[in-house]
């Protein structure tokens, strides 16, 4: 990984983790519930969504004391969605990132509730911003409800489940990803644009960037499922092929998928031209997404 | 039921239902998800929480175009919690209010997602208030995240589950109810107080009222589980006794529970003195909660 991005990520992950624990710390009604929530928050994610919030602001040269809290809100939504996705009635996964899934440790009922409480906590965090005007706070909360709910992530998860029963076209598959994965990634970048009070034209460029890295992210995931080992992934490799799931490689072939990945990567980079530099964190992020090994 | 309350409830329920459908209407990513969400929203609840929002404002003589949306937000949280509570891994209920539960109709995975999306929709609704200043919107959203999350309803649900394994003291049982049921009822009344810009002293009185009717509501539920028929309840009567659950009648006897119910009822009425009338909607509501048959 590029040194600049590497340094940025390790520095910021510490700050994100600290703030996540601060947000969890007042919880004292049920110790088990708090423990279950904390378990999944600490389960070693790559923190891509919160890092994107911070990277966008850094590239824009804007400082906001509220950036880390906004970053944590999207990570809490992402975390809750993983807990619920792993449930026996959903993907029925026993392991995630090499650790037992929430319901394997705490049982299904607690896992449902821990997910529910993490969703509420995400929005709660956003009501505690310190220096952001209330109008913008409301705007950010709405952006997250849309990204997280039936018109965003949850809608995408639903389409994904419905899609498992039948082969999807490329367009249908793209619709799944734009909602299931893309919505939260876009939130990260758009929320940062709101905190930075960015103008409409530049915000539009960042949205293009978000759209393209969202799809690149998913294409890379599909490719890794074929080319990486189970050990590298921390989850079962080749599971898409086994489940006959429509993926970019299954629809386009591995070469076609690589080509499409390169195209979205290039478009993401192009949309960052307005930043006036070649080594913005966001462009390094795009490189990272495309070249990652897991 | 008292004519005035009866008229108020039937008039307002129509308006609440209409607004709930408006909030659901933009959903178009997955028709099945929308259908599952709508199914439970339409499943014939008593709409007590949203009615309390509107009754409080009416008693305070304050009109707000945003009252109905705030009322719907709390109903959406309540609805999502019922879907998740009914899941096989939680209470495993096949029927609610005489209709098959969400997962019996749509399957468990969809029920989990419908609940998740309804929670997001509740907060989404609150970001769309029209005449309320943004500072107050943020205040209301925080009130709802606290009432709904680990420090409120979800925390109470967790304590309730933990309590099933052992006999509870009266204090422990009260803690369960204050969180599991009381938090959303209190939200309804406090959110109305915010919309009405009510002073601290009167808000405190309304909080006392909310606390007392919350507990009265639960005591009455426990009593009805013994004295009402399955037909009247629309769910299995006597289920608490069968499951050896700690209830007010099991801890205090039926007479003791009735006495305690009367005490909370009286305190609720007393805290409304500042309204300067004997037939406020909130006092009629307290009567209704105590005298209801289901």
Residue A139: closest CA among B5, B115, B127:
B127
Residue A66 CB-half CA count within 13 A: 20
Neighbours of B273 (CB within 10 A): 11
pLDDT at A238: 72
Are A151 and B34 inside 8 Å of each other by CB?
no
Cβ neighbours of residue A231 under 8 Å, at least 6 residues apart?
A: none
Q: Do A36 and A114 contact (CB within 8 A), yes or no?
A: yes
Residue B233 confidence (pLDDT) above 90: no
Cβ neighbours of residue B292 under 8 Å, at least 6 residues apart?
A: B220, B224
* Residue B23 in contact with partner chain A when CB distance is under 8 A: no
Could you give the 3-state DSSP secondary structure of residue A96?
strand
Residue B8: closest CA among B282, B292, B286, B287:
B282
Are B112 and A34 inside 8 Å of each other by CB?
no
Q: Do B137 and B127 contact (CB within 8 A), yes or no?
A: yes
DSSP-assigned beta bridge partners for residue A100: A95
Supply the DSSP symbol for B95.
Answer: E
pLDDT at B278: 86
Residue appearing with tokens 């891509």: A48
Q: Do B250 and B240 contact (CB within 8 A), yes or no?
A: yes
Are A142 and B120 inside 8 Å of each other by CB?
no
CA B198 to chain centre: 22
Query: Could you give the CA distance from residue B115 to residue B82 in angstroms, rounded to a whole number?
Result: 8
Q: Which chain A residues are within 8 Å of B88, Cβ to Cβ?
A: 89
Residue appearing with tokens 């009604």: A29
Q: Which chain A residues are within 8 Å of B128, Cβ to Cβ?
A: 142
Please give the angle made by the CA atoms of A286, A55 and B145, to the nearest 5 degrees.
Answer: 115
Domain residue ranges in chain B: 3-291
* Residue A134 in contact with partner chain B when CB distance is under 8 A: yes
Supply the DSSP symbol for A229.
Answer: -
* Residue B123 in contact with partner chain A when CB distance is under 8 A: yes
Per-chain mean pLDDT for chain B: 94
Are A179 and B29 inside 8 Å of each other by CB?
yes
* Helix pair angle (B67-86, B108-126), 10° resolution: 160
DSSP-assigned beta bridge partners for residue A95: A100
The CA distance from A33 to the nearest CA of chain B, in Å, is 7
pLDDT at B239: 73
pLDDT at B235: 67
Supply the DSSP symbol for B178.
Answer: I
The CA distance from A213 to the nearest CA of chain B, in Å, is 21
Greater pLDDT, B227 or A122: A122
Quick one: closest CA in A to B26, which residue? A151
Query: Could you give the CA distance from residue A280 to residue A5 in angstroms, rounded to a whole number?
Result: 9
Query: Could you give the CA distance from residue A202 to residue A239 in angstroms, rounded to a whole number?
Result: 39
Are A137 and B134 inside 8 Å of each other by CB?
yes
Query: Could you give the CA distance from residue A48 to residue A187 in angstroms, rounded to a whole number?
Result: 12
The CA distance from B185 to the nearest CA of chain A, in Å, is 17
Cβ neighbours of residue B194 under 8 Å, at least 6 residues apart?
A: B136, B139, B140, B143
The CA distance from A138 to the nearest CA of chain B, in Å, is 6
Neighbours of A242 (CB within 10 A): 10
Q: Are strands A95-96 and B99-100 parallel, antiparallel or unpaired?
A: unpaired
3-class SS letters over A25-70: CCCCCCHHHHHHHHHHHCCCCCCHHHHHHHHHHHHHCCCCCCHHHH
Average pLDDT, integer, range B160-185: 93
Query: Could you give the CA distance from residue B40 to residue B119 in angstroms, rounded to a whole number?
Result: 13
Query: Could you give the CA distance from residue A142 to residue A134 in angstroms, rounded to a whole number?
Result: 12
Each of the 294 residues of chain A gets a pLDDT tens digit; together they read 678 999 999 999 999 999 999 999 999 999 999 999 999 999 978 899 999 999 999 999 999 999 999 999 999 999 999 999 999 999 999 998 889 999 999 999 999 999 999 999 999 999 999 999 999 999 999 999 999 999 999 999 999 999 887 889 999 999 999 999 999 999 999 999 999 999 999 999 999 999 999 999 999 999 998 887 767 766 667 777 667 788 999 999 999 999 999 999 999 999 999 999 988 999 999 999 999 888
The CA distance from B211 to the nearest CA of chain A, in Å, is 17
The phi, psi pair for A5, rounded to 5°, reads -70, -40
Q: Which chain B residues are within 8 Å of A84, Cβ to Cβ?
A: 112-113, 116
Looking at chain B, the whole-number percentage of residues with pLDDT higher than 70 is 97
Q: Do B211 and B182 contact (CB within 8 A), yes or no?
A: yes
Q: Are strands B99-100 and B95-96 parallel, antiparallel or unpaired?
A: antiparallel
Greater pLDDT, B238 or B207: B207
Query: Could you give the CA distance from residue A182 to residue B188 in angstroms, rounded to a whole number?
Result: 35
Which of A89, A107, A142 faces B109 most closely, judged by CB atoms?
Answer: A89
Could you give the 3-state DSSP secondary structure of residue B194?
helix
Q: Do B189 and B213 contact (CB within 8 A), yes or no?
A: no
pLDDT at B83: 98
B3-291: which CATH architecture?
Orthogonal Bundle (1.10)
CA A122 to chain centre: 14
Q: Which of residues 79-108 of A touch B (CB under 8 A)?
A: 80-81, 84, 87-90, 107-108
Supply the DSSP symbol for B20.
Answer: H
């Amino acid at each position: 990984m590029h040194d600049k991005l590497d340094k940025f990520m390790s520095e910021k992950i510490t700050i994100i983790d600290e703030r996540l624990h601060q947000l969890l710390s007042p919880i004292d009604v049920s110790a088990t519930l708090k423990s279950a929530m904390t378990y999944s928050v600490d389960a070693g994610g790559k923190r891509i969504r919160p890092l994107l919030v911070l990277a966008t602001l850094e590239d824009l040269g804007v400082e906001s004391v509220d950036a880390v809290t906004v970053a944590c809100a999207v990570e809490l939504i992402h975390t809750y969605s993983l807990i619920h996705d792993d449930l026996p009635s959903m993907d029925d996964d026993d392991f995630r990132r090499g650790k037992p899934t929430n319901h394997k440790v705490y049982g299904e009922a607690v896992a449902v509730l821990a997910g529910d409480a993490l969703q509420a906590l995400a929005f709660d965090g956003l009501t505690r911003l310190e220096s952001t005007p209330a109008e913008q706070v409301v705007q950010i909360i709405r952006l997250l409800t849309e990204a997280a709910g039936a018109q965003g992530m949850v809608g995408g998860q639903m389409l994904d489940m419905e899609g498992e029963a039948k082969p999807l076209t490329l367009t249908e598959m793209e619709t799944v990803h734009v909602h299931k994965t893309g919505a939260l990634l876009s939130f990260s970048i758009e929320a940062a644009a709101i905190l930075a009070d960015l103008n409409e034209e530049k915000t539009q460029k960042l949205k293009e960037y978000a759209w393209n890295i969202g799809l690149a992210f998913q294409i890379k995931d599909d490719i890794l499922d074929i080319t990486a080992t189970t050990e590298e992934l921390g989850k079962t490799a080749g599971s898409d092929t086994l489940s006959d799931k429509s993926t970019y490689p299954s629809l386009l072939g591995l070469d076609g998928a690589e080509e499409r990945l390169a195209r979205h990567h290039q478009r993401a980079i192009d949309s960052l031209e307005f930043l006036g530099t070649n080594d913005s964190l966001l462009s390094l992020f795009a490189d990272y997404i495309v070249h990652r090994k897991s």
